[in-house]
Amino acid sequence: MRRVVITGMGIYSCLGKNLEEVKQSLYAGKSGIGIDEARIAYGYRSPLTGIVERPQLKGLLDRRSRICLAEEGEYAYMATVEALKNAGIDADYLEKNEVGVLYGNDSSAKSVIEAHMHTLETKDTTLQGSGAIFQSMNSTVTMNLSTIFKLKGINMTISAACASSSHAIGLGLMFIREGLQDVIICGGAQEVNYLSMSSFDAISAFSTRVNDPTKASRPFDRDRDGLVPSGGAATVILEEYEHAVKRGATILAEVAGYGFSSNGANISQASDFGSCIAMQRAMKDAGVQPADIDYINAHATSTLQGDAFEADALNHLFGELKTPVSSTKSMTGHECWMAGGSEIVYSNLMMLNGFIAPNINFENPDEHSRNLNIVNQTMEKNINLYLSNSFGFGGTNSALVVRKLKVEN
Amino acid sequence: MNREEIIETINNFLIEELEIDAERLKDDARLREDLKIDSLDFVDIAVIVEEHFKIKIKPEEMKNVKLLSQFYDYIENKMKEA
């Protein structure tokens, strides 16, 4: 079977604008959460959000490329530039070889709403300008990345709510294993503007701990009161193992298994049963047992029900093993469509640097998390194999198993 | 607004937004072949013309406008009509 490795990665998030900054934040257990005043003025229940600065692209990209990029596309561009550089893939390589893109994204709300508001005012759609259409489609990120980097392989967006980019990596694994592609840019992007998250705020999903923003996201903790939305983008370069070796690329990790499932139940509630199926399928695909897993990067978003269901699922599969678990969403907030991709980057940074980033704000367990080994202080730890969970609305579940790979020369 | 002001406004847009070198903005420059202005750019030109001159143009009307000088003429005539 063709094996699939990660040869490059890039990140742009509320924890930092590149791998080095993010590694330091993860190690320090630093929160990226703050207050967005625009949300208060707009009528949000909660103004808490991950704070992500928009990149300045003038000078990096021509005008046509810039005006077609929505906010999340700008983050995806930054993360992908870093990932390609990290993988040793330049413009000349992209020109001469077939490289694909599979990226998770499930909204481009700001672009849609702004175009609509503009036309309400002007009564003339022409005045939306030429960039609006390319910014406002769900596939905006892949259509722009494929144009900017002149990609010629598989090219599509995966929309599966908060599991979008985990599925994107899983599908990338399948495309390469099947021999259909050798290199695919995978990852996920998430817009971080007040227009994009108001309907999520509407269902009281967000923490209202506004007096203490960095304490608001507290997955598995007894006193959690909801998630904190966040965003940015994360990119990993998936590559067939022999292809990577032949190219002389540095192999960062191997994507060993992908599992998926659908709960077939409530639109907004997670399921311990459904998430167990995805985790078991990912481990079976990787040919490993629960006892082989050194670390679990939980989906846990800091919601009452979601964390409880995941804790029950983890107790069921890993309860006796006391496998270390943390949710990096305690620091980042919930990066939604991007989360599956970013959490692979975060976990890879931990695996490559020998530590487990803490589940900050985990102070008191509840009845579900009591028996889990939740790491709430940075732990020095050699990780050889980890599991990363991502679950989304509609009951979509994705799990990835990633392995440290020692290359035999 | 006189013709000089029209030329200055249009040229500023072409230089600042479409990133066209100023020395290429000659009267006989062909919009599509020489300045590489494409159909999407004409949409954005319609936006700035509306913003600056308060007149509406439709990108499809630009079909017969071939040269930069003809574009200045077109705006000037539209403003007289308005």
Active site residue A118: no
Indicate which of B13, B20, B44 best probes the interface with A, i.e. most A CBs within 10 Å of its own CB. Answer: B44
What count of other Cβ atoms lies within 10 Å of the Cβ of residue B23?
A: 6
Catalytic site residue from A14, A299, A336, A368: A299
What is the DSSP code (8-state) at residue A215?
G
pLDDT tops 50 at residue B72:
yes
What is the DSSP code (8-state) at residue A362?
-
Residues in B closer than 8 angstroms to A65, CB to CB, are none
pLDDT tens for residues A345-384? 999 999 999 999 999 999 999 999 999 999 999 999 999 9
Strands A295-297 and A324-326: parallel
Q: Nearest residue on chain A to B41, judged by CA atoms?
A: A130
Strands A4-13 and A232-240: antiparallel
Residues in B closer than 8 angstroms to A67, CB to CB, are 44
- CB-CB under 8 Å, A126 with B46: yes
pLDDT tens for residues A158-212? 999 999 999 999 999 999 999 999 999 999 999 999 999 999 999 999 999 999 9
Strand partners, A254: A5, A403
Facing residue for B19 by CB, picked from A63, A129, A131: A63
Residue owning tokens 């679950």: A391
- pLDDT average, residue stretch A383-391: 98
pLDDT tens for residues B9-50? 999 999 998 999 999 999 999 999 999 999 899 999 999 999
Average pLDDT value for chain A: 97
CB–CB contacts below 8 A, A to B = 25
Structural domains of chain B ordered from first start = 3-81 (1.10.1200.10)
Q: Is the pTM of this model over 0.90?
A: yes
Active site residue A334: yes
Question: What's residue A408's pLDDT?
Answer: 53
Burial of A92 (0-12, 13-18, 19+ CB in 10 A): exposed
**3-state SS string for A291-345:** HHCCEEECCCCCCHHHHHHHHHHHHHHHCCCCCEEECCHHHHCECHHHHHHHHHH
Tokens describing residue A351: 């695996």
Residues in B closer than 8 angstroms to A62, CB to CB, are 19
Question: Which residues fall within 8 angstroms of residue A403, CB to CB, at 6 or more apart?
Answer: A253, A254, A256, A286, A384, A385
The least confident of A93-97, A175-179, A402-406, B32-36 is A402-406
- CB-CB under 8 Å, B40 with A63: no
Q: Give how far Cα A395 sits from Cα of A342, A389, B20, Å.
A: 20, 13, 50
Active site residue A299: yes
